[in-house]
Amino acid sequence: MTTTSPTTQPGERVLPARPDWPDATGHFGIFGGRFVPEALIAALDELTEAYEAMRVDPAFLAEFDRLQRDYTGRPSPVTEVPRFAEHAGGARILLKREDLNHTGSHKINNVLGQALLTKRIGKQRVIAETGAGQHGVATATAAALMGLSCTVYMGEEDTRRQALNVARMRLLGAEVIPVTTGSRTLKDAINEAFRDWVTNVETTNYVFGTVAGPHPFPAMVRDFQRVIGDEAREQVLEREGRLPDAVLACVGGGSNAIGIFTAFVPDDGVRLVGLEAGGDGVDTGRHAATITGGTPGVLHGARSYLLQDDNGQTTESHSISAGLDYPGVGPEHSYLHDIGRAEYRPVTDAEAMEAFALLCRTEGIIPAIESAHALAGALVLGRELGPDALLLVNLSGRGDKDVETASRWFGLGDREEVDPGPGLDTDQQPTDGAVTQGDAVAGPAAGDEL
Work out how close the CB of 32 gets to other proteins at its nearest, in angstroms, rounded to a whole number: 10
Q: φ, ψ for residue 246 (rounded to 5)?
A: -150, 150
Q: Compute CA distances 7 → 11, 53, 57, 110, 128, whole Å.
A: 11, 14, 12, 21, 32
Select 48 or 141, whichever has its Cβ closest to other proteins: 48
Instruction: Output the furthest CA–CA distance in the chain (Å, rounded).
Output: 64
Does 316 qualify as catalytic in the annotation? Answer: no
Q: Is 181 in the site for other proteins (CB under 8 A)?
A: yes
Cβ contact 418:410 at 8 Å: yes
Work out how close the CB of 315 gets to other proteins at its nearest, in angstroms, rounded to a whole number: 8
Q: What is the DSSP string of 270-338?
A: SEEEEEEEEEEEGGGTEEE-HHHH-EEEEETTEEEEE-B-TTSPBPPP--SSGGG--SB--HHHHHHHH
Select 294 or 420, whichever has its Cβ closest to other proteins: 294
Q: Is 42 in the site for other proteins (CB under 8 A)?
A: yes
CA distance 108 to 110: 6
Q: Which residue among the candidates 98, 105, 123, 129 is catalytic per the annotation?
A: 129
Binding span for other proteins by CB under 8 A among 30-38, 120-128, 345-353, 416-424: 30-38
Does 363 qualify as catalytic in the annotation? Answer: no
Select 310 or 414, whichever has its Cβ closest to other proteins: 310
Select 61 or 299, whichever has its Cβ closest to other proteins: 299
Q: Is 271 in the site for other proteins (CB under 8 A)?
A: no
Q: Is 41 in the site for other proteins (CB under 8 A)?
A: yes
DSSP class of residue 100 equals G
Q: Is 39 in the site for other proteins (CB under 8 A)?
A: yes
Q: Is 191 in the site for other proteins (CB under 8 A)?
A: yes
Q: Is 264 in the site for other proteins (CB under 8 A)?
A: no
For the chain, the first-to-last Cα distance in angstroms comes to 28
Question: For residue 355, which of 316, 305, 320 has the smallest C-alpha distance?
Answer: 320
Q: Compute CA distances 46 → 54, 112, 121, 129, 142, whole Å.
A: 12, 19, 8, 21, 21
CA distance 306 to 317: 10
Question: For residue 392, which of 257, 254, 289 has the smallest C-alpha distance?
Answer: 257
Q: φ, ψ for residue 268 (rounded to 5)?
A: -60, -25
Select 8 or 199, whichever has its Cβ closest to other proteins: 199
Q: Which of 37, 58, 266, 387 binds other proteins (CB under 8 A)?
A: 37
- The interface mask with other proteins, positions 299-328, x = CB under 8 A, is xxx------x-xxxxx--------------
Work out how close the CB of 38 gets to other proteins at its nearest, in angstroms, rounded to a whole number: 5
Q: Is 3 in the site for other proteins (CB under 8 A)?
A: no
Q: Is 285 in the site for other proteins (CB under 8 A)?
A: no
Work out how close the CB of 314 gets to other proteins at its nearest, in angstroms, rounded to a whole number: 5
Q: Which residue among the candidates 96, 107, 187, 401 is catalytic per the annotation?
A: 107
Q: Is 202 in the site for other proteins (CB under 8 A)?
A: yes
Q: Which of 43, 81, 350, 372 binds other proteins (CB under 8 A)?
A: 43
Q: Is 38 in the site for other proteins (CB under 8 A)?
A: yes
Work out how close the CB of 300 gets to other proteins at its nearest, in angstroms, rounded to a whole number: 7
Work out how close the CB of 117 gets to other proteins at its nearest, in angstroms, rounded to a whole number: 19
Binding span for other proteins by CB under 8 A among 29-37, 70-78, 286-294, 367-375: 29-37
Q: Is 432 in the site for other proteins (CB under 8 A)?
A: no
Radius of gyration of the chain (CA): 20
Helical H runs in 8-162? Answer: 41-54, 58-67, 82-85, 107-120, 134-146, 156-161
Angle in degrees, CA 359, 411, 98, rounded to 5: 30
Select 262 or 314, whichever has its Cβ closest to other proteins: 314
Q: Is 203 in the site for other proteins (CB under 8 A)?
A: no
Q: Is 201 in the site for other proteins (CB under 8 A)?
A: yes
Cβ contact 334:305 at 8 Å: yes
Select 28 or 410, whichever has its Cβ closest to other proteins: 28
Q: Which residue among the candidates 123, 396, 401, 449 is catalytic per the annotation?
A: 396
Does 396 qualify as catalytic in the annotation? Answer: yes
Q: Compute CA distances 53 → 36, 50, 61, 106, whole Å.
A: 24, 5, 11, 24
Q: What is the DSSP string of 390-405?
A: EEEEEE-BB-GGGHHH
- The interface mask with other proteins, positions 384-423, x = CB under 8 A, is ----------------------------------------
Which residues participate in catalysis according to the annotation?
107, 129, 396
For other proteins, the binding residues (CB under 8 A) are 25, 33-43, 181-182, 187-188, 191, 194-195, 198-202, 297-301, 308, 310-314
